[in-house]
């Protein structure tokens, strides 16, 4: 399998467009655009899947994984499976709703087999009982957990950083399961600081999770800011929509509302509070996830321009 990595553009943003009243020199902000690396499989999910695909292919097994009905991870798995000839099974939380939403319809068209678990069963999806049911239905499979975070994922995520990113003082990103943050913690330079902005409410389990995933103790080069979840996972308000629209208007960079808008709002708030010094160079990781906006626009009827 030819799984070479595309080059990820690093785009510098003029922060004065957003901080007109700022009375000091602003730090430098650049965006690591993993959202534009591929038409189909962009964002952090590609890096998390990369070595899981290799493993599934080597063992000649389908990938079975889990997600909600609008999941970026489900979308990426279906697309990657089609592209690299690995069969995929998506175990979806809740009942089937017809017609399928855009995420699931596309996944199905790409050959993913969809299977629905009740919310109760889904909560216990890794329990022996549920896994036995799945095995009797689908036979052997390579299991990738919900959100795609496992050891193989960390290996792929580390490849998001390169010579292009070593000059930055800070790396900032949105965290969901913490898998991407864990990979970046391992890959960053010692002197680089990593800022994780969890998009789930009550995510103080995040440092422990990252410690588990990386199998190393965390030093103070990683910091977590828990106040930018905007009410919890996938909760959207008008401030977020306005932020994403304004950012898109001024930079032409689209943001997804569930992860990158929240994290960038958090970063802008830290900049506003003079958390950074004027000489700091900040790299914000655009983790992709734009397919999710389509679902939100239809489901919540919001006026989102990107
Ligand atoms: C899944 C996802 C994340 C979170 O990644 P984790 O590895 O689960 O922390 C961040 N941004 C986007 C756009 C995502 O789809």
* Model confidence pLDDT, tens digit, residues 182-195: 999 999 999 999 99
Q: Is the CB of 259 under 6 A from ligand 1?
A: yes
Contact status, residue 210 vs residue 185, Cβ threshold 8 Å? yes
Provide mean pLDDT across the span 77-96.
Answer: 97
The answer to whether domain 10-40+160-300 and domain 44-148 are alike in fold is yes
pLDDT attached to residue 57: 97
Output the CA–CA distances (angstroms, integers) from residue 11 to 36, 231, 279, in the order listed: 11, 30, 18
Is the Cβ atom of 34 under 6 angstroms away from ligand 1?
no
Ligand 1: distance of its center to the CA of 33 in Å?
14
Which atom of ligand 1 is the closest one to the Cα of 290? Answer: 13
Half-sphere exposure of 226 (CA within 13 A, CB side): 7
Q: Taking residues 12-29, report their average pLDDT.
A: 95
Q: Return the CATH number of the domain spanning residue range 44-148.
A: 3.40.50.1100
Supply φ then ψ for residue 142, to 5 degrees: -95, 115
Determine which residue's CA is closest to atom 13 belonging to ligand 1: 289
pLDDT above 80 (res 94): yes
CA of 209 to the centre of ligand 1 (A): 14
Q: How much is the pLDDT for 1?
A: 67
pLDDT digits (tens, 9 = 90+) for 198-226: 999 999 999 999 999 999 999 999 999 99
Q: Looking at residue 43, what is its pLDDT?
A: 94
Does 291 sit in the ligand 1 pocket, CB within 6 Å?
no
For the chain, give every domain's residue range. Answer: 10-40+160-300, 44-148
| Distance from C-alpha of 126 to C-alpha of 237, rounded to nearest angstrom | 33
pLDDT in tens, 37-81: 987 788 999 999 999 999 999 999 999 999 999 999 999 999 999
Give 2's pLDDT tier (boundaries 50, 70, 90).
low
Q: If you average pLDDT over residues 23-47, what whole number do you get?
A: 92
Q: Does the beta carbon of 174 sit less than 6 angstroms from any atom of ligand 1?
A: yes
pLDDT in tens, 259-270: 999 999 999 999
What stretches of 14-163 adopt beta strand conformation (E)? 28-33, 63-67, 88-93, 113-117, 142-144
How far apart are alpha carbons 49 and 1 in whole angstroms? 13
What's the whole-number mean pLDDT along residues 258-282?
98
- At 184, list the tokens: 């970046």
The CATH number of the domain covering residues in 10-40+160-300: 3.40.50.1100
């Amino acid at each position: 399998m030819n799984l070479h990595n595309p080059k990820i553009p690093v785009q510098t943003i003029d922060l004065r467009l957003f901080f007109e009243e700022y009375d000091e020199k602003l730090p430098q902000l650049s965006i690591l655009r993993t959202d534009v690396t591929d038409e189909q499989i962009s964002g952090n999910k590609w890096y998390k899947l990369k070595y899981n695909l290799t493993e599934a292919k080597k063992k000649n097994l389908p990938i079975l994984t889990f997600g909600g009905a609008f999941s970026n991870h489900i979308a990426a798995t279906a697309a990657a499976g089609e592209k690299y000839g690995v069969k995929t099974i998506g175990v979806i939380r809740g009942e089937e709703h017809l017609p399928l939403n855009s995420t699931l319809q596309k996944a199905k068209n790409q050959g993913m087999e969809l299977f629905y678990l009740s919310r109760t069963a889904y909560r216990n999806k890794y329990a022996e009982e549920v896994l036995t049911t799945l095995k009797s239905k689908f036979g052997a499979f390579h299991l990738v957990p919900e959100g795609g975070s496992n050891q193989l994922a960390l290996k792929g995520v580390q490849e998001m950083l390169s010579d292009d990113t070593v000059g930055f003082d800070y790396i900032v990103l949105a965290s969901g399961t913490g898998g991407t943050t864990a990979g970046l913690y391992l890959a960053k330079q010692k002197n680089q600081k990593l800022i994780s902005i969890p998009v789930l409410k009550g995510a103080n389990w995040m440092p422990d999770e990252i410690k588990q995933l990386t199998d190393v103790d965390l030093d103070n080069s990683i910091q977590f800011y828990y106040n930018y979840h905007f009410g919890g996972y996938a909760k959207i308000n008008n401030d977020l929509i306005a932020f994403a629209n304004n950012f898109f208007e001024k930079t032409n960079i689209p943001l997804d509302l569930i992860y990158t808008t929240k994290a960038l709002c958090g970063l802008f708030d830290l900049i506003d509070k003079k958390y950074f010094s004027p000489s700091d160079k900040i790299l914000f990781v655009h983790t992709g996830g734009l397919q999710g906006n389509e679902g939100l626009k239809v489901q919540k009827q919001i006026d989102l321009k990107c």
